[in-house]
Chains A and B, each alone.
Chain A
């Protein structure tokens, strides 16, 4: 209930000081005269006893209803089936949420109504206080600091002062040494995946190896190296030696997509003409922008889209970026066939997969 028109005293002091500095007459009248406070206008509930009683009943009614609803929420908690549904919601959640939420809302609304209609209606003015300390406080602190410097002899005993600086400076050394030893550097780990020459490219989840004849034009297969996906029929003993976090990390980096398109639609770099098999190409599934998994492939345009930030890669043109924030082409995995006719990798990726990192360096495998 304070009035906006009254300035704090601090503000007035400042205005007067500035005026005296630049020499403008401070006696000039305010161009917009201060209208002062409007006369106090009593609320209807202050003068009409009927309205006051009504407001009282409203507030008490809301508190009462809130009590009822809160009790109801306890009843709902105890007696509504937690597996039941209501309007396709969970019935228990719905009942508890509705009753408890409305109860809390009514408590708040009753409090507001109480304050607005019935609590005392004074209009008061609170002046702002200056933020700066008083001159006495400032002087006391400064004299204490000076006395301390004088009595300790900080300026006089130079040997002690310099040795103190030396000790404090030495403290920096363990910080640098210890923090520098927080862990081994990742080395070339981010640059390599588990893909090696001869590893079969198999279906993710099912682990089925793939023959070129299994894929028709426009086909998409979400794939992984065979050492990471279990398949009873094709597993060789001792093949799956990764588990837990290491397995998930390896899968996350090695995830690929296998797509097949008309061979005449593909324009491969001269260095990559033998990387595909009759229109079957293999690319990393990890976006080169910030590493979202991408398998949003439009077979009609041969474009692969990242759902996170709409980076778009042209898989018919070596995975080059055609749109979006990604700065690097999608890494391609060179393919071959093994003796049984299944698709295998010829090597690891020729460049690091996923988003850029500090040690990644420039493009290793670029267009001519």
Chain B
């Protein structure tokens, strides 16, 4: 103690005391403070890191190294910011093959997914870690098996009110200006339909769970599935595209056959030797 008391007025004494105090406080905090979820879940941390690596290779050229979004020299959006879009948006865009885009254009078309399910999960985890957003729905949220009768009819009502303006009464899709289009929903999985309503990909509006409840969404999905399972009682559907394909059929095939008969009646046969 004599050693300490003789040096208590040393110019560095104050500094030493402060350092000791900081060390003690830090040590106590480390012992007493609750462990943060990120530290506790190293598996999640690894997943996010794996997603970040995938993102830097496959996505950052358009969306920016920190998913902040990039603009072209002309000021157009090259890739929008992904901060806050949530895991559901990534799962939809990458899971349906829309992302990564092969080339820039009016709209990213659906194609075979480039990433595996595990990679998509990692990418979703990384983007979800940037800022909170809609999570990937669980299977009980979107699985529309067993919905029938009154609930199916209600799904149809919701579908006609909210969706048919763009996606057509039979979910065959439709055209939008400037080369965009509302895609056909044939062959789209229940999960991806749910995620599309939840996140509003590209030009599609958002239909949040608060205004269109998960139950409503499930009924809509069940109705869309039923559309594709119902037989064509009315005959040739011609893609359910309405007057465009029907008119084309009537003008080319219908009138073509009539003209063919007229030619047969009028010319061939009467004076021919065969």
* A, B: real partners: yes
A residues neighboring B (CB under 8 Å): 41, 43-44, 85, 88-90, 93, 97, 112-113, 116-117, 203-206, 208, 210-211, 213-222, 259, 293-301, 303, 305, 307, 310, 312, 323
Give the CA-CA distance A298 to B201 in the complex, in Å.
10
B98 within 8 A of A: no
Are A217 and B206 touching (Cβ within 8 A)? Answer: yes
Residue numbers in A under 8 Å from B180 (CB-CB): 298
B233→A301 contact, CB < 8 A = no
Flag whether B117 is at the interface (Cβ < 8 A). Answer: no
In the complex, what distance in Å separates the CA atom of A130 from the CA atom of B178? 61
Q: List 12 A-B contacts (CB under 8 A).
A: A44-B274, A89-B233, A90-B232, A112-B264, A116-B265, A205-B158, A208-B211, A214-B210, A216-B208, A221-B207, A259-B205, A299-B200
Is B154 among interface residues, defined by CB-CB distance under 8 A? yes
Chain B hits for A293, CB < 8 A: 165
Q: Does B235 lie within 8 Å of A220, measured CB to CB?
A: no
Q: Is B61 at the interface (CB under 8 A from chain A)? A: no
Within 8 A of A (CB), among B209-263: 210-213, 216, 231-233, 235
The 7 closest A-B pairs by CB, nearest first: A220-B205, A214-B210, A298-B203, A296-B165, A219-B206, A85-B231, A295-B165
Measured between alpha carbons, how far is A159 from B154 in the docked complex, in Å?
Answer: 76
Which residue, of B202, B212, B213, has the highest number of chain A Cβ atoms within 10 A?
B212
- The residue of chain B having its C-beta at the shortest distance from the C-beta of A307 within the complex is B165
A residues near B235, Cβ cutoff 8 Å? 89, 93, 97
Q: For B166, what are the chain A residues with a Cβ–Cβ distance below 8 Å?
A: 296
B residues less than 8 Å from A90 (CB atoms): 231-233
A88-B231 contact, Cβ under 8 Å, with A210-B211, A213-B210: yes
Q: Is the interface of A mostly helix, strand, loop or mixed?
A: mixed
Please, which residue of chain B has its CB at the minimum distance from the CB of A85? B231
Known: A90-B231, A298-B180. A222 touches B210 (CB 8 A): no
Q: Is the CB of B161 within 8 A of A205?
A: yes
Bound-state Cα–Cα, A116 to B180, Å: 55
Determine how close the nearest CB of chain A comes to the CB of B198; give it in whole angstroms. 10
Which residues in B have some Cβ–Cβ distance to A below 8 Å?
154, 157-158, 161-162, 165-166, 174, 176-177, 180, 200, 202-208, 210-213, 216, 231-233, 235, 264-265, 269-274
B231 to chain A: which residues have CB within 8 Å?
Answer: 85, 88-90
CB B35 to nearest CB in A, in angstroms, measures: 32
Give the complex CA separation of A259 and B206 in angstroms: 9
Roughly how many angstroms separate A257 CA and B121 CA in the complex, as a whole number? 35
Nearest B residue to A108 by beta-carbon distance?
B261
Contact of A301 among B154, B203, B206, B264 (CB under 8 A): B203
Q: Which residues of A contact B206 (CB under 8 A)?
A: 215-220, 299
CA distance in complex: A296, B157 (Å): 17
Task: For residue A167, give the distance in angstroms from its CB to the closest CB of chain B.
Answer: 54
CB distance from A343 to the nearest CB of B (A): 11
Q: Distance (Å) between the CB of A55 and the closest chain B CB?
A: 9
Q: What B residues does A218 contact at CB under 8 A?
A: 200, 205-206
Q: Are B270 and A305 in contact (CB under 8 A)?
A: no
Chain A, Cβ-Cβ closest to B180: A298
Q: Is the CB of B203 within 8 A of A219?
A: no
Report which of A204, A222, A259, A300 forms a contact with B203, defined as CB distance below 8 A.
A300
Q: Is the CB of A295 within 8 A of B162?
A: yes
Are B203's CB and A299's CB within 8 A? yes
List the A residue with the shortest CB-CB distance to B274: A44
